[in-house]
Amino acid sequence: MADSALIKGLKTIKRGADTRNALRLIRGFESRPVHDVIKVGFIVQMPEIWHVQQPIYKLMCEDGRFDPWLIIMPPYNIRNKSFEDNISGYFVNECINGNRIEAIKDGQWCDLVLDDFDYVFVQRPFSEYYPSHLKSWEIVRHTRLCYITYATHEFEDNDEYPNDFFKDVYLGFHEDESVADMLNAKYSKGTHKRFYSVGYTSYEKGLSLDKECRYKRVLWAPRWSTDSVVGGSHFLDYYKQMGEFDSNAGSLTVRPHPLMWDNFIKKGIITEEEKDKILSDWNANGIKTDKNPSILDTFNETDILISDISSVIPMFFMTGKPVIYCPFECEYTPSFKKILPGLYQARDWNELSDTINRLLNGDDPLEKERGRILNKHFMKYVHSSEAIVEQIYNNSLEHKKE
């Protein structure tokens, strides 16, 4: 126990020192000038969450004040904890202006000069998915690190976001004032406010999606981990019953979290053979597995969402279409509490199957409540991209050369 307490104490001391060092570096950027045309890098790796950064990147490509670049990372394999040797073609095709840097080619990392960028966005706050020279504590030594949260906070005391990432963030953009206020209280010092809730691009995208509900097309989005620390998953509880879905009543598509299969196999929860058997059984019963790189395309083809606690719930909620929530008992965040009255909740298979059947028959008593919640709390997000771009530009004005 003594050794454990000592190690914990040493880690606390180191964390404090790292936070102070990051703050010193961030303060240094307050006196570092930016280019006349602001050079912004977007470190991208996962197509599944590109919708968060894509509208910012697109606006900057159309705005002469900015010089945006894609810095394309290779996929990361969580099973063997390694990077692919080459990048995929997805982000090459997403590059609008021709300005891109391929971070790896034939297994060799490129010599990337981060100091030449005024701002650099990362997609995720998890250092294990980045090589050593692109981890947050390395980026903060060279340029202003920016982050738009790709996943909302649904419950309090959520350890899904590691605190040591946010110490390195120069400008962060979040879905709710309560999250930004919490992070500012912890990390912002002096006159530099680091975290904002001026807009959230996932909500903006959700508000632009098809709002017509035909009560036919069902999407199930199970979570990636059974660990209650990150909200758990009902996949093991329902996958057999879902495999017997009545295709005469409607259609069912399953879109697991991108990490679910690999994580379940890595943890020994299921085997590769069991995964193949599940997919084969689903396919035999006409159940689709979603292969769209972007969940937005899938949402446009969905009438009813079934999900564990997840960021896909508030994003799909923006469409105004019904959500069946498989609940995780916890203290919800103020943001998630706003939409909770508009969600159907199913705590077991009987409740879930009954709710599915009622909605497939068009029985949707929460329809007006969803509309009320959207009008009261979320219509302000329709211009999120513009607000974030202007926030970055206004920050840059503080650093222009005299």
Q: φ and ψ at 312, to 5 degrees?
A: -70, -25
Q: How confident is the model at residue 137, as a pLDDT?
A: 94
The CA dihedral of 308, 377, 56, 298, to the nearest 10 degrees, is 40
Q: How confident is the model at residue 2, as a pLDDT?
A: 47
Q: How confident is the model at residue 13, as a pLDDT?
A: 54
pTM, rounded to two decimals: 0.88
Q: How confident is the model at residue 88, as a pLDDT?
A: 86
- Cβ count within 10 A of residue 238: 19
Q: Which CATH superfamily is domain 209-380 in?
A: Glycogen Phosphorylase B; (3.40.50.2000)
CATH number of 19-205+381-397: 3.40.50.2000
Tokens of 296: 């937005």
Which residues partner with 14 through β-bridges? none
Q: What is the mean pLDDT of each run of 10 residues along the chain (402 residues)?
A: 54 65 87 93 95 97 98 89 91 97 94 95 92 94 96 69 81 92 87 90 95 96 82 88 86 91 91 94 92 90 95 95 92 90 96 96 97 96 97 89 44
Q: φ and ψ at 39, to 5 degrees?
A: -90, 120
Contacts of 109 (CB under 8 A, 6+ apart): 103, 131, 133
- Domains of the chain, by residue range, sit at 19-205+381-397, 209-380
The CA dihedral of 364, 370, 372, 376, to the nearest 10 degrees, is 180
